[in-house]
Amino acid sequence: MADIFSKQKRSEVMSKISGKETKPEILVRKFLFAKGFRYRKNVKNLPGKPDIVLQKYKTAIFVHGCFWHGHNCKAGKLPETRKEFWEEKIKGNVERDKRNKSELEKLGWDIITIWQCELKNNEIRAKTLEKLINTLHNKKYCAFGR
C-alpha cells in the first residue's frame, strides 16, 4: 500500500508531531494535580527528560506513545510503507528508552511508564490511574519507615 503523501509532505507532517504536551501527558498531570501531587515536567537535567518528575517520591514518569516507543499493542503497529525505516527508527527509540531508564535507576530514581493505550478508554484509564496513585502512596509510606 502506497503512502497518500509524497515523501516531502510525509516528512513535513511527521516533523510537526510534538514530543511534549501530548494529550495523554496532560491527562496524567491533571489527575496527579487533582490528587494533591506536585511535580515538575520535562526535567532537562535528568536522563530522558521524564515527562513528569515527582521529586518528593524520587519517581520519574514517562507517558509513552505506543507507536513511537514500540509498544506491543494495536497502536504500536508499524506502517506497511517504508517498513525498514520505521523498524530502525522505533528500535532506536526503544534502545534509547532503555538507556535512559537504566541511567535514572543508577541515580536512585524509580521509573513508571504509562502507555498511551492505557489511557484510551475510561475503564482502562481508571485502572491505570488508580494503580499509579496506589504505587505512589505505597512509596510515600515506605519512605517514612526507612
Q: What predicted TM-score, i.e. pTM, was given to this entire model?
A: 0.82
Residue 144: predicted pLDDT? 41
Answer whether residue 110 is part of any domain: yes
Whether 127 is covered by a domain: the verdict is yes
What does the alpha-carbon distance between residue 84 and residue 144 come to, in Å, rounded to a whole number?
50
Determine the pLDDT at residue 145.
38
Q: What is the 3-state secondary structure (H, E, C) of the chain?
A: CCCCCCHHHHHHHHHCCCCCCCHHHHHHHHHHHHCCCCCEECCCCCCCCCCEEEHHHCEEEEEECCCCCCCCCHHHCCCCCCHHHHHHHHHHHHHHHHHHHHHHHHCCCEEEEEEHHHHCCHHHHHHHHHHHHHHHHHHHHHHHCC
Query: Phi and psi (nearest 5°) for 112?
Result: -120, 130
Does a structural domain hold residue 3?
no
Identify whether 50 is part of a domain. yes
Chain length of the chain: 146
Residue 7 maps to a domain? no
Residue 5 domain-assigned (yes or no): no
Would you state the pLDDT for residue 39? 95
Number of structural domains found in the chain: 1
Q: Please report, in tens digits, the pLDDT of each residue of the chain (146 residues total).
A: 566 667 677 566 655 565 567 899 999 999 999 999 999 999 999 999 999 999 999 999 999 999 999 999 998 888 888 889 999 999 999 999 999 999 999 999 999 999 999 999 999 999 999 999 999 988 765 544 33
Rounded to the nearest 10°, the torsion over CA 130, 62, 138, 146 is -170
CATH number for position 28? 3.40.960.10
* 2 in a structural domain: no
Domain that holds residue 133: 20-144
